[in-house]
Amino acid sequence: MTEGGAPGALSDVAPKLQAVVCVVLNAAQTECVLFGNDGIAPKLPEDAVILSCATVAPDFAHNMEARCAALGVHYLDSPISGGALKASQGRLSIMASGTPTAFATALPILDSLAETVFELGDKAGAGSAMKATNQLLAGVHIAAMAEAITFGITQGIAPDTFLDVISKCAGTSWMLENRAPHIVSGDYTPRSSVNIWPKDLGIVTEMAAASGFAAPITQTALAQFQSAADLGLGLEDDAAVAKVYAHRAGLTLPEENT
């Protein structure tokens, strides 16, 4: 049993809950958890709150908020950032939007999960819009890091040297410092998988198209992650996008424990 968990049938437990935190991969899974065949939302008591943490499109968040409101349940659009390590430390950043009552009801949960809570508006959607903007940058930074580290190899720069130098220069980023060590060590154990990025950057490109906004750099990064997934790397750490560049250029990347 997971630490902090308790046994019991959902139909028995849900009516006693004041808050539910839904951390899944995508919109389809979110809708399944909340409103599927055994969805939790209709089983919750009135005035309970759902914190929905997946990266989804703002329109989806609007829809979930409306469906929850029809049940007398509050919905907080609360996508998260920080990864597994910060989650385990209760130090996530949460980009949240929802009614003042949803925020007030969720406050004890937010305090336990997050180092920083950004209150971005009084209705769902704004949190998801901000998360999409963050994911644009994060995905582009990972793809750019992969391109740079493999380019460096073609110029005789060893990956560990690349990391040591660039992490102390203007070209660095949080994503570079977090993901490049995975390539240096040859360890692609998924902390955040390749498969997340076709979804998240796909959401960004769809939002951009709906707004009449061109996002060519996002589209380029998306193509690299899609290529990685097509190579069978979807369940590896997202730093494995470097293997796309290495594959095309005939390069050899470091292997684990070498």
Residues noted as catalytic: 131
Can you point out the beta strands (E) in the chain?
19-22, 49-52, 74-77, 80-81, 92-96, 114-119
Token pair 């796909």 is at which residue? Answer: 202
For the chain, report the end-to-end CA distance as a whole number of angstroms.
37
CA dist 28 and 144 (Å) reads 29
Residue type, 49: V
CA dist 185 and 181 (Å) reads 6
